């Protein structure tokens, strides 16, 4: 235990020194300006990294024996590695968060799957999902969750970490920073993706009953988060992008509510359905969930360039995802100065033995020019990185090129 404490204290000193560097405050300003729709320049981030391919010289090797300390050791090592190697516009906060211990009874379903194929030396796998919801009777399996907050366990974790490093870096209890609503990403795991698409056409009423019940699950969860005081309005992460913004409402009284945080929504399987079907089966239900938060961010890998008008039925919409499969020119023209265009460049460009800088520049130029012509605020996030062909240099080069282009805005 003494050795664990020594290791974690050394890392905490490194971390707080890096977090106090002026560039962190500068980058926070840039992210806030983007989300406020008054962009200074585009911001660039890299996330969802294949860490198993990143361990240059053993810098990510964890040495703590206690699993509790080992988790915080890993987090600090990974953040410092990224900050020093391919930081783009990431920033470090001069604090270590201890998450509230939250438990849920769940929705009554568990994923039943078969792993068909695993990636070589990666954590990426292909799945075949068993259909657990074949008929209306099976929908009775879906139950409303009961959420509980274990304050005693949270305090114990906070005390344990605080006693180890609290004199070096502030240790703070953190809550839930935003609600992630991706019900149509969950349903294919319970019903099978092919069957979902067939039944949306052949059994629409059945699929309405399914999404209704699972939306009620989300609504019950959100209400309990509010009642238990689990939301955290000081969080600044929003699923691979920053949530820093100036116009979220301030909390009234002690409890943070959904109005003080972001809602994050998506329906990736709906990249394969019509506008009307997307609206009917997702957006109308999203109005009840993420549409009730302070601000909302919608979209992930589904192309939305021809669906902006249905997405903007969300009254609090602030940010829209733009994938490699979207028409960037069309989307930027429609989005204009009204929303943030959250650009997701193609991660396949770093999955090669050598990154082709000319191809990357052409791809990024397409997005940057479209945003510039139309006055869009935008962030650029390289994510969903399955592999870098075991060459961390690809991410280093990607970051260098992307930052040069963003700085030349």
Task: Report whether pLDDT(119) > 70.
Answer: no
Q: What is the mean pLDDT of the chain?
A: 96
Give the percent of the chain with pLDDT over 70. 98
Token pair, residue 317, equals: 């919409």
Q: What is the pLDDT of residues 226-236, one digit of tens each?
A: 999 999 999 99
Compute CA distances 56 → 12, 50, 52, whole Å: 21, 13, 10
What pTM value is reported for the model?
0.95
Distance CA 129, CA 381 (A): 30
Summarize the confidence of residues 369-386 as an average pLDDT: 97
Of residues 255 and 403, more confidence is placed in 403
At 139 the pLDDT is 97
CB atoms under 10 Å from CB of 249, counted, come to 12
DSSP string, 167-210: TTS-EEEE-B-EEEE-HHHHHHHHH-HHHHHHHHHH-HHHHHHH
Distance CA 5, CA 70 (A): 10
At 2 the pLDDT is 75
Task: Report whether pLDDT(198) > 90.
Answer: yes
As a whole number of Å, the end-to-end CA separation of the chain is: 50
Specify the 3-state DSSP secondary structure of 116.
strand
Q: What is the pLDDT of residues 34-81, one digit of tens each?
A: 999 999 999 999 999 999 999 999 999 999 999 999 999 999 999 999
Summarize the confidence of residues 181-208 as an average pLDDT: 97
Q: Which domains does the chain have, with CATH numbers?
A: 2-407 (3.20.20.210)
Task: Report whether pLDDT(122) > 70.
Answer: no
At 63 the pLDDT is 96
At 249 the pLDDT is 85
Q: What is the pLDDT of residues 215-224, one digit of tens each?
A: 999 999 999 9
Token pair, residue 332, equals: 């930027």
């Amino acid at each position: 235990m003494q050795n664990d404490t020594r290791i974690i204290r050394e890392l905490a000193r490194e971390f707080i020194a890096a977090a106090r560097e002026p560039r962190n405050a500068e980058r926070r300003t840039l992210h806030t300006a983007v989300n406020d729709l008054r962009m200074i320049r585009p911001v660039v981030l890299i996330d969802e990294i294949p860490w198993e391919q990143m361990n240059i010289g053993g810098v990510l090797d964890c040495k703590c024996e206690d699993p509790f300390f080992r988790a915080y050791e890993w987090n600090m090592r990974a953040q410092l590695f990224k900050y020093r190697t391919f930081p783009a516009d990431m920033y470090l906060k001069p604090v270590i968060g201890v998450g509230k211990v939250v438990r849920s009874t769940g929705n009554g379903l568990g994923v039943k799957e078969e792993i068909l194929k695993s990636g070589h030396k990666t954590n990426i796998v292909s799945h075949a999902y068993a259909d657990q919801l074949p008929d209306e009777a099976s929908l009775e399996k879906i139950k409303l969750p009961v959420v509980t907050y274990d304050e005693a366990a949270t305090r114990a974790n906070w005390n344990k970490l605080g006693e180890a490093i609290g004199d070096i870096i502030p240790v703070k209890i953190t809550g839930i920073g935003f609600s992630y609503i991706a019900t149509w990403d969950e349903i294919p795991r319970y019903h099978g993706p092919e069957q979902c698409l067939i039944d949306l056409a052949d059994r629409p009423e059945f699929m309405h009953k399914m999404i209704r019940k699972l939306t009620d699950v989300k609504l019950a969860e959100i209400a309990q988060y509010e009642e238990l005081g689990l939301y955290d309005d000081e969080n600044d992460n929003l699923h691979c992008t920053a949530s820093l913004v100036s116009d979220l409402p301030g909390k009234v009284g002690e409890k943070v509510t959904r109005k003080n945080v972001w809602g994050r929504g998506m329906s990736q399987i709906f990249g394969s359905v019509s506008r009307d079907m997307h609206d009917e089966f997702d957006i109308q239900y999203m109005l009840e969930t993420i549409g009730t938060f302070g601000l909302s961010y919608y979209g992930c890998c589904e192309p939305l360039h021809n669906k902006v008008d249905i997405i903007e039925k969300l009254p609090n919409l602030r940010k829209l995802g733009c994938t490699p499969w979207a028409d960037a020119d069309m989307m930027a023209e429609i989005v204009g100065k009204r929303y943030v265009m959250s650009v997701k460049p193609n991660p396949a460009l770093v999955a090669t033995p050598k990154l082709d800088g000319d191809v990357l520049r052409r791809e990024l130029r397409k997005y940057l020019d479209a945003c510039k012509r139309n006055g869009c605020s935008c962030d650029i996030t390289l994510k969903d990185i399955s592999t870098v062909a075991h060459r961390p240099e690809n991410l280093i080069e990607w970051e260098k090129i992307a930052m040069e282009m963003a700085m030349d805005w």
